Amino acid sequence: MENTKGWVIVVGTLALIAIMIMVGLWLIFDMIQRAVTPVESMTGNLSTQMASLINPTPTIIPNPITIIHDIRSLARLETIQYTVEKVITAESGQGALAPLFGDKLLFIAHGKIIAGINMTGLGPDDLWVENGVLYVKLPDPEIFITALDNEKSYVYDRDTGIFTKGDINLESTARLVAENEMEKAAEEDGILDMASQNAENYLSRLFRDLGYAEVIFVRNTKTPTP
């Protein structure tokens, strides 16, 4: 009986010691964790600050003063839109010294061209009725808008010489050339003819709804369109 009590005391003592050891280890681990957390936080903050220094976020501050130079009334019938992508290579200082003083960039241009009819050019003499037929002479089609999409247009690659910071006007020149090339490509594809045809189709339905059973569009030579 005394042996059983002795074993109980020994087992209880060992269990108490084990619990005390586990509690001590937990306290030590907690102290280490509390000491490491500020270091990790400080390291993360330093990394963020270094990243901000290496790749700073630009701050844009628009001037609160706005100058409006011109206001005019418009009566444009937009009848077609082209979406065009163009690759432009712009370069300066090329040649034997290009690795030292040259500047070259590859610009991906994405934009739109909108064309139609300027209805302010339509006067009373441009509409007449003969034998119940309405004749309409529309103004020549025009390209109203040629604009780059700044969200989709970007400089894909740029290579500057060792001793130069690059031409500050090179990208602006590339953008201007891109707009001209996009407009030229749209004209070669027949955007003006399609703008005129779409305008005739739209106005033909409009005039018929107004009560004119037959509508014929004529060119400046007053030759009916097919």
- How far apart are alpha carbons 81 and 111 in whole angstroms? 10
Phi-psi domain of 45 (left: phi exceeds 0; alpha: psi -120 through 50; beta: other): alpha
Please indicate, yes or no, whether residues 11 and 115 belong to a single structural domain of this protein.
no
> Which residue did the predictor score with more confidence, 100 or 85?
85
In 3-state terms, what secondary structure has residue 222? coil
Residue 31 lies in a domain: yes
Question: For the whole model, what pTM was predicted?
Answer: 0.68
Banded model confidence at residue 95, pLDDT cuts 50, 70, 90: confident
Q: Determine which helix (DSSP H) or strand (DSSP E) holds 216, and give its type and residue range.
A: strand 214-218
Report if residue 50 sits inside a domain: no
Residues 150, 209, single domain; the answer is: yes
Query: Does a structural domain hold residue 42?
Result: no
Strands of 42-178, DSSP E = 76-92, 103-118, 127-130, 133-137, 142-148, 154-160
25 and 120 assigned to the same domain: no
pLDDT confidence tier of residue 222, bands split at 50, 70 and 90: very low
Q: Are residues 111 and 206 in the same domain?
A: yes
Q: How far, in Å, CA of 41 to CA of 43, rounded?
A: 5
Q: Does 49 reside within a domain?
A: no
Residue 84 lies in a domain: yes
What is the average pLDDT score of the chain? 81
Domain that holds residue 175: 76-218
Q: Give me the mean pLDDT over the 137-145 stretch.
A: 95
Split at pLDDT 50, 70, 90, the class of 85 is very high
Q: How many separate domains does the chain show? A: 2
